[in-house]
Structure 1
Amino acid sequence: MTGLVRTSADLDPRRRRILYRCWHRGIREMDLVLGQFAEENIADLSEEQLDELEIIMDEEDQDLVQMVTGAQAIPEKFQTPLFHTIISYRPDFDLVTAQNGHSSK
């Protein structure tokens, strides 16, 4: 998946904004991780989970990529079921890099 497929017409404004932000991170790898997660789950998240997702989205993309790939330990504040579900949306970063015309080596 390379971008938004789901319609946001049935979502409230907060969920629409979060969905958009998840797909427009600035780093393609995080677009894919957060975007795919949000696309599949945004409608069913509780208000508390939305709060947590917004805190996660406030983190720097480089730090998030490092956590997703295992290059950086996941801080205690993100040792939550929601964060672990999010990082399970782990695309093949080498393939993504190759598709974007960059060498991963």
Structure 2
Amino acid sequence: MTETRETMIKRLRMRSMRRGIKEMDLILQAFADESLAGFSDEALVLYDQLLSENDHDIYGWIGGQIPTPEPYLNLVTQIARDAEGVTRPD
């Protein structure tokens, strides 16, 4: 059974707000609410892959403490930019 775009966005929004650490809940939930509806199908697949990564790694990428892997660089840059005012890793 193939997942519809609408179902995929709902699933990704849920995965964005049910993370392992509260900071990632706040950052990714706000990002998902603002951005996912405008994503291409390919961008949604990439975001889905990002959500499979370890929260501490994603948090470090967003905060710039660890280098972001190339496939995620543009996406993480966008998330970090949008994290301003939500919670910003130091």
Aligned length: 83
Tell me: CA distance 1:70–1:93, structure 2 relative to 1, closer, same or farther (3 Å). closer
In the TM superposition, what whole-angstrom CA distance separates every residue of 1:5-55 from its partner, at most 9, and x where no partner exists?
xxxxxx811111100110111211111111111001121111001001001
- Spell out the pairing of 1:18-29 with structure 2 (5 A cutoff): 18-29=12-23
- Spell out the pairing of 1:1-105 with structure 2 (5 A cutoff): 12-80=6-74, 82-90=75-83, 91-93=87-89
In the TM superposition, what whole-angstrom CA distance separates every residue of 1:34-86 from its partner, at most 9, and x where no partner exists?
11110011211110010010011111001011111111111222222x32111
Select the structure of larger CA radius of gyration.
Answer: 1
Structure with the higher fraction of residues in helix conformation:
2
* CA distance in structure 2 between the partners assigned to 1:74 and 1:23 by the alignment: 21
TM-score, structure 1 normalization:
0.70
Partner AA of 1:23 in structure 2: M
- SS in structure 2 at match of 1:59: coil
- Quick one: percent identity of the two aligned structures? 31
User: Unaligned 5+ residue runs, structure 1?
Assistant: 1-10, 95-105
User: Unaligned 5+ residue runs, structure 2?
Assistant: none
8 A Cα contact 2:17 2:29, kept in partner:
yes
